[in-house]
Amino acid sequence: MRLGIIGAGQSACTLATELIRGNFDGEILVFNGEPHRPYQRPPLSKSWLKMPADINILPLLPEPIENHASIQWIGEWVKLIKPDNGEIYTEQATYRVDQIVLATGTRARRLTIKGLPPETGHVIRTLGDAERLRQHIDDAKNITIIGAGFLAFELAATLDHPDRIIRIVAKANRLLPQVSLKTADRLVGSTPASTLVDVKIESFDTVSKSLITNHGPVPADLVIIAAGAIPNTEIAKRCGLGTAEGIATNEFMQTPHPKVSAIGEVSLHHQPHLGRSERVESISEANDSATTCAKRLLGHSEPFGAIPWFWSDQGQLKLQIAGLCARSDDETCLISTDTDSVVIRHCGDRVTAVEAINAPKEFMAARRLFERGTVSLSAIIKEGSVFDLLQSSRS
Amino acid sequence: MPQLNCIDPREQAIEVTFNPGETILQATNRAGVDGILAECGGGCSCATCHVILDHTWDGTLVGPSTQELDMLSFAVDPTPHSRLACQVELSDKHDGLSLSVAKRQY
């Protein structure tokens, strides 16, 4: 079999690794349009930004996999696919394959801000973005981050420096809407940035180096836009397979076209833990969807059944989330000390997610319990903690 | 270059070179040592890069954080010399350090 993987991020690399370790009988073409070897993305907003400039890359693949005889790396962007013929088109050439896997991921949402010079405005998604940002950090005294999510707060924690003022401005009326109010309060309370919500940005004034907003001018000699991600579905849409929301697949990562699969952040499939279809942006989704796809291509299909999990480093706080919940799910604070907190998200008695700050045992215990099935809030409260519930269910 | 002596879960010995300042995970990942999953990519968030270090090297290492110990308690059969490969930073003095990859990460 000849397989074409479009993209070279986490899910593409996990797929290639799983196929090679599973003795895949065939050729794997990986289309990597970025001018870098496959690299790890999560550190870009964390430790990497503070590393010396000569450390350029955090490789994603082991050398024996990257250099494996069955992988062919193609450093070209894919423009178009024709699934019926198994054809992949780049600017330079046309490739014919038996199966196509779309691992096109997401890209940073960019905002058009009138008057903002290109060297002042940044996004952070790719290594190229991060390299460009790193060159400008040392000279910046006022850094303004536009966004309300984990990335905005991670960047603020990473860029914290006595000579800098960091501000987070958000269009939304609350910060960190993907976590509970309690968890968000803890993270907002510890950020080195000052924060402002309900912000409408009108323009950038190059004379005063400020964002002009409905709250007045916000000084910014560096602006980082961390306003979410957009799924790269254009290639799929051109052959009738994707929408702006993602590329729909079944529980084996297959699109309605028998020759096309989609994995990672771009794939939109049933999440058994949520009980509905949702596109999930996380390393766990990238790995688990790639593993599911690899099993199918190796001839021993198993449906996607993974429980999502997340983590985010925010300075001294380590947030870990087991499970996935709707933003409207209820929250019950289980543990809250000066340093740690554990918040249970739930629908009635059914627990949907556990948000743990500096509480890794609660996070890991929640993952183990979710893997076994439904977790009950009243059972956790009765035992006192998620960890104690796991222990009592073991004995 | 300094090196680590690794034993993978199938008892295969592998010599892995490293750059001082790297973690054990960065070195073993580059070399493709089997059995280290590191699902979170090195963020001390999954406990799937469990390795067991030769105890004679204990004095040269910074001990595990509470976070790492808590994560390790969820590894399969942890020992007093268990570590998460992503949390152990290597320096020149670790040339020759021996370690075994845990038999199972799940």
Band (pLDDT 50/70/90 cuts) for residue B66 is very high
Structural domains in chain B plus CATH codes: 3-101 (3.10.20.30)
Instruction: Give tens-digit pLDDT for A210-235.
Output: 999 999 999 999 999 999 999 999 99
Domain count for chain A, please give it: 3
- Expressed as residue numbers, the domain containing A272 is 2-48+59-107+230-297
A318–B contact, CB cutoff 8 A: yes
Same domain, A160 and A247: no
The mean per-residue pLDDT over the stretch A247-253 comes to 98
Q: Note the pLDDT of residue B41.
A: 81
pLDDT, chain B, mean: 93
The answer to whether residues A114 and A219 belong to one domain is: yes
Calculate how close chain B gets to A91, using CA atoms only, in Å. Answer: 32
Is residue A372 predicted with pLDDT exceeding 80?
Answer: yes
The answer to whether A298 touches A252, Cβ cutoff 8 Å, is: no
- Partnered with residue A394 across adjacent β-strands are none
Please indicate, yes or no, whether residues A114 and A94 belong to a single structural domain of this protein: no
Residues from chain A contacting residue B41 (CB–CB below 8 Å) = 10, 40, 42-43, 283
Of the candidates A58, A62, A313, the beta carbon closest to that of B32 is on: A62
A314 in contact with B, Cβ within 8 Å: no
B70 closest CB neighbour out of A62, A309, A361: A361
Nearest in space to A164 (alpha carbons), one of A233, A220, A81: A220
Q: Provide the pLDDT confidence category of residue B40 given band limits of 50, 70 and 90.
A: confident
Kindly write down the DSSP assignment for every residue of A159-199, as one continuous string.
H--TT-EEEEE-SSSSS-TTS-HHHHHHHHHH-SSEEE-S-
Is the pLDDT confidence value at A43 over 90?
A: no
Q: Tell me whether residues A311 and B29 touch, CB distance under 8 A.
A: no
Predicted local distance difference test score (pLDDT) of residue A210: 97
How many CB pairs below 8 A link A and B? Answer: 52
Contact A322, A307 (CB under 8 A): yes
**How far is it, in rounded angstroms, from Cα A300 to Cα A315?**
43
For chain B, say whether A283 makes contact (Cβ under 8 Å).
yes
Nearest to A78 by CA among A229, A230, A228, A239: A239
pLDDT of residue A54: 64
Predicted confidence (pLDDT) at residue A52 exceeds the cutoff of 80: no
Q: Using only C-alpha atoms, what is the Rg of chain B? A: 12
* Residues A325, A188 share a domain: no
User: What pLDDT sits at residue A47?
Assistant: 77
Q: How far apart are CA B46 and CA B76, in angstroms?
A: 12
> In chain A, where does DSSP find H-type helix?
10-21, 63-66, 127-137, 150-159, 181-190, 234-238, 283-297, 360-372, 377-383, 386-394
| Mean pLDDT calculated for residue range A266-275 | 96
Contact B32 A64 (CB under 8 A): yes
Q: B44 contacts in A (CB within 8 Å)?
A: 318, 360
Q: Which of B24, B22, B18, B11 is nearest to B53 (CA)?
A: B24
Window 64-103 of B: residues touching A by CB (8 A cutoff) are 67, 70-71, 73-74
Domain stop point among A248, A268, A297: A297
CATH number for the domain that contains residue A276: 3.50.50.60
Q: Are A320 and B39 an interchain contact pair (Cβ–Cβ within 8 Å)? A: no
pLDDT above 80 (res A58): no
Per the CB < 8 A criterion, the answer to whether A99 and A259 are in contact is: yes
Q: Residue A57 above 90 pLDDT? A: no
Q: Do A43 and B41 touch (CB under 8 A)?
A: yes
CB proximity list for A143: less than 8 A, separation 6 or greater: A137, A159, A164, A165, A166, A167, A220, A221, A222, A223, A224
Does B40 sit within 8 Å of A311, measured CB to CB?
A: yes
Q: What span, in angstroms and rounded, lies between the C-alpha atoms of A347 and B57?
A: 49
Partner-chain contact B30 A283, CB within 8 Å: no
Element (H, E) at A247: strand A246-248
* CB distance A178 to A104 below 8 Å: no
Is residue A53 predicted with pLDDT exceeding 80? no
Has residue A174 been placed in a domain? yes
Please check whether residues A221 and A246 belong to one and the same domain.
no
Structure confidence at residue B58 as a pLDDT band (50, 70, 90): confident
Quote the crossing angle between the two packed helices A283-297 and A10-21, to the nearest 10°. Answer: 40
Confidence at residue A50, expressed as pLDDT on a 0 to 100 scale: 81
Q: What average pLDDT score do residues A170-193 get?
A: 96
Give the per-residue pLDDT at A394: 78
Inter-chain touch B41–A40, beta carbons under 8 Å: yes
**Whether A292 and A322 share a structural domain:** no
Strands A142-146 and A87-90, sheet pairing: unpaired
Mean pLDDT of chain A: 95
Please state the rounded mean pLDDT for residues B49-71: 94
Residue range A79-88: mean pLDDT, rounded: 97
User: DSSP letter at A91?
Assistant: S
- pLDDT interval class at A313 (50, 70, 90): confident
A99 part of a folded domain:
yes
DSSP H or E stretch at residue A116: none
Residues A179 and A146 both lie in one domain: yes
Identify the pLDDT of residue A245: 95
Q: Which chain B residue has its CA at the smallest distance from A287's CA?
A: B39
> By three-state DSSP, how is residue A42 classified?
helix
Report yes or no: A315 at the B interface, CB cutoff 8 Å: no
On whether both A115 and A213 belong to a single domain, the answer is: yes
**CA-closest candidate to residue B41, choices A155, A286, A66, A316:** A286
pLDDT of residue A51: 76
Asked whether the beta carbons of B75 and B50 are under 8 A apart, the reply is yes
ipTM, 2 dp: 0.92
Q: Are residues A100 and A117 in the same domain?
A: no
What would the DSSP string read from start to end of A207-230? TTTEEEETTEEEE-SEEEE---EE
A208, part of any domain: yes
**Spatial distance between the Cα atoms of A345 and A332, rounded to a whole number of angstroms:** 6
Nearest residue, CB atoms, A283 vs list B40, B47, B74? B40
* Segment B78-106, tens digit of pLDDT: 999 999 999 999 999 999 999 999 999 98
Percentage above 70 pLDDT, chain B: 100
- Residue A6 above 70 pLDDT? yes
Domain end point (choices A225, A248, A270): A225
Nearest chain B CA: its distance from A21 CA (Å): 10
Chain B residues with CB-CB distance to A364 below 8 A:
47, 70-71, 73-74
Of the residues A225, A252, A282, which one is the last residue of a structural domain?
Answer: A225
DSSP summary character for residue A308: P
State whether A62 and B40 contact (CB < 8 Å): no
Within a domain: residue A53? no
| Chain B neighbors of A360, CB-CB under 8 A | 44-45, 67, 70-71
CA distance A383 to A369: 14
A59 interfacial to chain B (CB closer than 8 Å): yes
In whole angstroms, give the CA distance from residue A348 to residue A229. 31
Q: Are residues A220 and A364 in the same domain?
A: no
Best to test chain B binding among A311, A314, A358, A367 (most B CBs inside 10 Å)? A311
Going by the DSSP 8-state scheme, the letter that residue A264 receives in this structure is G
* Dihedral (Cα; A254, A257, A260, A265), 10-degree rounding: -50
- State the number of CA atoms in the 13 A half-sphere of A222 facing the CB: 24
Of B26, B31, B73, the CB nearest to A63: B31
- For the stretch A118-174, pLDDT in tens is 999 999 999 999 999 999 998 999 999 999 999 999 999 999 999 999 999 999 999
